[in-house]
Structure 1
Amino acid sequence: MNEQLPFIAETSTLPLLSSMCRVRRGENFRVHGMTVSRPMLCLILQGEGILVLNDEVHTAHTNQLFVLEKGTTIEAASRSEITECILLSINTVSLQKVRGEWTMASEPGLPFQWSTGPMPVRHEQQMVSRFEQLYTAYQGVQQEHFINIHTQLHELLQYISESRLEVNQEKVDPALERSIMYMHRHMGEGISMDHLAKIAGLTPSSYSRSFKKAKDMSPTDYLNRLRIDEAKKQLQQEHRSIKDVAESVGYGNEYYFNRKFKQAVGIAPSVYIKRDQLRIATASILGLENHLSSLGVEAIASINGFNDQEPSESEQQRELTLQWNKLRQSRPDLIIADSYHAPYYDKLKSIAPTILLEHVQDWKQHHVRIAELVGREKQALANLKQLAFRTLDVARRLQQFFDHERVTLVEVKPPMIRLQGTINHPLSHLLYNELMLKPAQIAPPEHQWVDYPAERIPLLDTDHLFIHRLSMHPASEKLLRRMKQTSSWNRSPAVLGGNVHDISSWLTKSWTPSGRHQIMDELVHIAEQHAALSQTGLIVQF
């Protein structure tokens, strides 16, 4: 399907402007559980915050466009003083010529195959101008008003269609979209790459190159993903055999389907069917067991093969042996491991089927992936939504206490002192992007962290120091004492002002929903203590 508005065909769809309004709200603007009654486009003119569509959390910012299908549930919260948006609702009618006469019927959706969610486009400012022009025309009373506004609506929709971007910011290619639409409609049939290339009007080699550039995967991999996603939906239905599901999504051979499904999902279809009943164990330094707990599932055993504490080598080996024995005795149905445990993969697999999660910077991907493996996808969405709203609320509270004061995170990690940077880590993103704390200049702006000998620590020119001691063992205490003897420490505004705060293991906790809640609990407690002491004059203000 080429995205054009066909107004002269024997059967045509025609979008009509139903209503258009400009909404402007003040600070702490919230929307609770609104349901969209007709298809809409929402353009953010001013402000930023979170927009939850059908329980899926999105960040929202100025000049961003969202598509809202009929029936979409909306929750929203702004972090800006002023929030402004344009809401454009559409009725789509189907025109059909029967025996020389035109008949008209209402259609439920948008004229294009757009789905609920953000719609990235090129040249955002041009799109905003077109929305503004249409809104001005909608308010007008000039002659031929009806024709004018609907002509502008069609031009706007066509402009959006032609300016759409892929997730990787590549321009959407209508030719590739036609082949993808064919995959969706005919995935249960045999589909050749030659036929898909012909639909796109390209040679097979050009089609494959263009597809991979746009979608970051080959056409074959994309088709397999569509089929596996559809198979997962069908496997959740009662009385569906694996053989029937395999055939319905285009895999004539059940054995081949089993292999492709396990390759994509990590578990066999037979295990996927009963995934909410599995006994799960974890092997992780990133708190995968806490992900499970947040989803209402308790790990029957957990192993951490990389204990970062300071006991002797013999003590470490004894503790690790106990963990392995407990893991074997628990007889799990499935082990979920993080990428750090890749060296143990064969050993873990000898105990139970093991899924090794890929290393990702976005911790939410782990939460959603684990939720799928245990059949708790809805709970994962609820967790992420709750966390997003709480983060927004805590950010507002912290701004009242910290204002423009600078913060720095230090980890006492023998034999070095580690200064946490501002990029490429879930904790950095939480502190400096979501909670909007201000990093000190000494926080490395281009690295996750930088390590220093205690005697060579740079001047800790920051208003607040958050310090995590890896352990209370002698090596950590000795390292901390050496740092405290330096002029870099004793000249620090945070030290002079009494704003040195001991914290728990935020670096690890930032990878899980429950851990992020705990980090915010500590921050709020620190902020309230800081405010109380400031009022009594016990803290010197610089």
Structure 2
Amino acid sequence: MSNQHKRMSHFLVSLKKHSWRAGFGLRVPQVPTHALCYVAEGCAAITISGKINEINSGTAVLLTPGMRIEALAGNTGSLVFYVLQYVEAALQPSNQVVEIMKNTLLAADLQTDSTAFAISLPATLLSKLEELAATVSKQDYASILRGQLLFYELLSFIHTEQLQHAEKGIGPVEATLAYMQKNYREPLDVGILPRVAQMTPSSYCRAFKRATGMTPSEYLTHLRMKEAKELLVSSQYSVKDVARSVGFSDELYFSRLFKKREGLPPYIYMKQAGQRVAVVSKLFLQDHLLAMGIQPIVAPSFPSYYTTKSGFPQYLHHRLRGTKALNAEQPVDPQEILCLSPDVIVRMNVQGREDALEWKQTPQTLLFNDYLHWDEYQMNIATMFQKESVAEEIIRHIDTVEKQAKDALKFVTRKGRWTILRVLGDEVRMYGVYGHALTDLFYHKLGFQPDPRVTHASYRADAFSELLALDPERIILIWSEKSHVAALEQNPLWRELRAVRENQVYYPDSRDWDPWGPLGREYMIQKSTSFFLRAAGHG
């Protein structure tokens, strides 16, 4: 919308609905008027001034005269979208008579950047577009006047949505986050970030705090300290080298800041992290160790499940460079670990295991029991390495991440009741409402409302008959292979379920989702939030 709205009037030129099949391609040399494009169904890639943007269902794009669309293409499915064209006219008083300037396309409106944003009330906008299209198709004078009225109502709606989008600061803040993540190793003045986001300093700081839970300066320090801990763990650099590598020119200031945040000076942190720690439990306890700055010399991997070369999940693969991958899908020989000369061996105390006694007799082994919640694992491992204060900071950070995600997902989680399933080759597992890290995260932290008829703990195996009787409103499929899901979709009983018939089955790519450790939990929260926002037309 033009910022000159107080002196502008708008006139509808045309409104068209387009339906294109997958594989279409379009080139528009130049946009002749102002235009509002709204994607009602599907997704596509639009290239404007050399920049490629993904536009999904529920996305509006505002274009200005003279803009060049180099390509619009959809390769994954059909696309249904509306294009509303209009002109802006400047109004000037002349002898107490308002006259429309002859040149309605003002030079000030010849912009090179489009504005794309998700519509929070897509059904409302679609209804307005349909009503306007039906009205302008008629040629009588009353319909023309009615059409102009509906057109102004639609512009007012779009203007409000655009202001809400700007207030949330979603796009601009994400852009500055990416800028900081790319440049935090260099001297970086956070004062330039509002200009990068094209926001006022006060509005930007409020939006940034809502998005991250931190101020820009705090977030920059967070990035630098996270990198510093990884470098200190490697033992290849001096404290001075680490400080310079993460953007601090003053080693003394870096050391004071590090001690304030981590509870101990960097050289002590480096010494403690230098312990040779081996993880031999199937649970990814290396996640908890890495979060505290301790990189194990050996850690469990699952090469037949994870797609990385190491057999570690995606979010741990690069962090565990230099760590020996221990195939946890096979029995572990204690001698294989002892020959690596570990100072500490971390293992869960699994009762009834044939090799449990052998591990107990190994003096380097620290055994601990199973716990219900991820933060109990974190605190107990921290106690082993005298890092309780570090663990407390990790737990506070994850709590903040969970609260931010819960707030972002409100308009998704409030709709209907949810049931979580895992599809395996020969069974369907139904997860309960407590007693499992997965349901703790989804139901108790992120705010998804469980079906009230589901009351059991952990999960129930072979629960397909129970699922049919439940006939849930919404289904989330977790950790399920595509071939297993495809086989289930061929079952006519599955297709009769309410959630299936109403297209309320959500199937994210969750292979690497792991809610048991802080790094995996944060990764899972980010990925799941992004998935559900896109599914709802807001991502």
Shared fold, TM over 0.5:
no
With normalisation by structure 2, the TM-score equals 0.41
With normalisation by structure 1, the TM-score equals 0.41
